[in-house]
Amino acid sequence: MLSDALLLLLGLVLLIAGGDLLVRGAVRIAGRLRLSPMLIGLTVVGMGTSMPELAASLQASLAGSPGIALGNIVGSNIANALLILGVAALITPIVVSTPSLWRDGGVGLFAALALIGAGATLGLSREVGIAFLFLMGGYIYYAYRQERVGAPHSAACDRAMAMEEIDRALIPPEKPEGRLWVALLLFVAGLSLIVGGGSFLVNAAIAIAKDLNVSDAVIGLTIVAVGTSVPELVTSAVAAYRKQGDIALGNVLGSNIYNILFIGGLTGAIAPTEVPASMMAFDLWVLVAVSILVMVLALSGRRLSRTEGIVLVAAYVIYAAHTAGLF
């Protein structure tokens, strides 16, 4: 049991470290291809920083463990909306842009409902995965157009900005710099760490579920989901500390959109899997409920206060305890 826990922790560390190296290399490569900084932020940074979650879900699906594959996605989104956003609001109250909340919160809510619809019909099939990826592409295109015309920042842009604030190396240089082979080496090294880390994490999570005599969905919804959400927790907390509450909120909303449409889409397209019945009966509806709750709380006073932050964190503790079977 202890060795499995250490392997799971090692897997998480490799996933996060590999994701960082991969994005650094990809940003440099994209810069050499003369892509615009805005486009690099929306695609390379936004998608690249989702690699830990993607690796965990994809490898779990390939290993025949839909509980971990879908649990990671659904559990991460619930943790984002309750735990991470709650912690950010505790650090500093978050002022909310109503148009942005309706737009990006609405897209996240639609994505959650689309996942429920998929689970009730085809499952996370190849057709559903491809459809999700088309929706993801449409959202990125829309976000890109919004930024070009000077509209309020989209959640996709806020997500990239939050990551770039934490790691300045992710900011695309104005002029290509460094050697191309170094960028390629960083990319390959990061990809290798992600593949290895994902394998360690998934195998350890399956073993821990057997040792504790619980379903793999429980491990996916809690330990794996929170572990792969650590980068979002750090970036949102730092943004809140710097009084950039709008970026903290956008990072959470953007992460939830990427998790379902990008990670869920690629997982379905490459390794189709079913949506576990337990998640269809409870956890996905919890995700829908908390998505609506965040929008209601934010719109009630056009801000998320520290008191509401306490409510969100407490709600996550209750959810996690219930999922773990503590009551």
pLDDT in tens, 37-95: 666 766 777 777 788 888 899 999 998 999 999 999 999 999 999 999 999 999 998 88
What b/e string do you get for 258-284 counting C-beta neighbours within 10 Å, with b at 16 or more? bbbbbbbbbbbbebbbbbbebbbeebb
Residue 116: which pLDDT band, with cuts at 50, 70 and 90?
A: very high
pLDDT surpassing 90 at residue 287: yes
Q: Which has the closest alpha carbon to 299: 95, 80, 107, 87?
A: 95
- Span 168-191, mean pLDDT? 73
Chain segment 191-214, per-residue pLDDT in tens = 888 888 888 889 889 888 888 888
pLDDT surpassing 70 at residue 1: no
pLDDT surpassing 90 at residue 161: no
- Span 114-132, mean pLDDT? 95
CB atoms within 10 A of CB 3: 9
What is residue 72's predicted lDDT score, i.e. its pLDDT? 94
Longest pairwise C-alpha distance within the chain: 57
Q: Which has the closest alpha carbon to 87: 249, 212, 211, 283?
A: 249
pLDDT surpassing 80 at residue 258: yes
Helix (H/G/I), strand (E/B), else coil: 94: strand
What span, in angstroms and rounded, lies between the C-alpha atoms of 55 and 14? 11
What span, in angstroms and rounded, lies between the C-alpha atoms of 128 and 265? 7
Strand pairing category for 94-95 and 303-304: antiparallel
Please provide the size of the chain in residues. Answer: 327
What is residue 299's predicted lDDT score, i.e. its pLDDT? 76
Output the CA torsion 56→58→60→65 (10° steps).
140
Q: Which helix H or strand E contains 304, and what residues bound it?
A: strand 303-304
3-state helix, strand, coil in the chain (%, to 5): 80, 0, 15
DSSP one-letter code for 234:
H
Cβ atoms of 18 and 193 closer than 8 Å:
yes
pLDDT surpassing 70 at residue 175: no
What is residue 44's predicted lDDT score, i.e. its pLDDT? 72
Tokens of 107: 């897209």
Mean pLDDT of the chain: 85
Residue 185: which pLDDT band, with cuts at 50, 70 and 90?
A: confident
Q: CA-CA distances (angstroms) from residue 233 to 15, 70, 142, 240, 248?
A: 15, 20, 26, 11, 9
